[in-house]
Chains A and B, each alone.
Chain A
Amino acid sequence: AQKVTQAQTEISVVEKEDVTLDCVYETRDTTYYLFWYKQPPSGELVFLIRRNSFDEQNEISGRYSWNFQKSTSSFNFTITASQVVDSAVYFCALSGQGGSEKLVFGKGTKLTVNP
């Protein structure tokens, strides 16, 4: 079965600090997809990134970067120079089991960025 573990329940940082959110996944599939979503206080889930299992290239988007390492089954998310607006719950998700498109989510990491 597929599983996503986000070991950090809550993280608190001061503005401008860098912060890394960890995501470790388990799957027996050779083809799978990884996602990160952001849930701000307003409640909606905002898509951040999608990665397939054949693309281990790290990605950078502004202050956000993602490190995908198949060897350690991890897909970590780093925010550089954090801002108060980054405060949210961040979810890592996995799909692809048996060809299913359903997402399996981690429990989420609540990030608080203090001014």
Chain B
Amino acid sequence: EAGVTQFPSHSVIEKGQTVTLRCDPISGHDNLYWYRRVMGKEIKFLLHFVKESKQDESGMPNNRFLAERTGGTYSTLKVQPAELEDSGVYFCASSHRAVRQETQYFGPGTRLLVL
């Protein structure tokens, strides 16, 4: 069974540009989560989708971040315009919905560097 995949693995952009990150969850997983780790800090929650609906977006830092999950399959996270402090590793995770608080399986992350 394929794990969570993320694209791209790395992205280097200039301040003010737009970047879109993609996450493909494990097949059949209704839950999809975005997290990020800014240099030297903890991994922090951004938001949680259940199928195509946003269940919890309390961790989204500001309105420059837009997450979508059309059709309840893959998800995209767009940063527009990117700022220097957005640099970090963005992780996606997915879990099955059948059992509450099921284990979240993580992808390899996207390393974003904003110059």
| Number of cross-chain contacts by CB at 8 Å | 61
Q: Which of A78-113 contact B (CB under 8 A)?
A: 91, 93, 95-96, 100-108
B56–A44 CB distance below 8 A: no
A33–B93 CA distance with the chains assembled, in angstroms: 16
B101–A96 CB distance below 8 A: yes
Q: Are A44 and B31 CB-contacts (below 8 A) given A33-B101, A102-B45, A107-B42?
A: no
B109 CB within 8 Å of chain A: yes
| Interface residue from B43, B55, B101 paired with A105 (Cβ < 8 Å) | B43
Task: Give the secondary structure class of B's interface.
Answer: strand
B interface list, Cβ under 8 A from A: 31, 33, 35, 41-45, 48, 55-56, 58-59, 89, 91, 93, 95, 100-101, 103-109, 111
B101–A95 CB distance below 8 A: yes
Q: A42-B108, A47-B103, A105-B35 are in contact. List 10 more A-B contacts (CB 8 A).
A: A44-B108, A46-B106, A93-B43, A101-B31, A101-B48, A101-B100, A103-B33, A103-B35, A103-B43, A106-B42
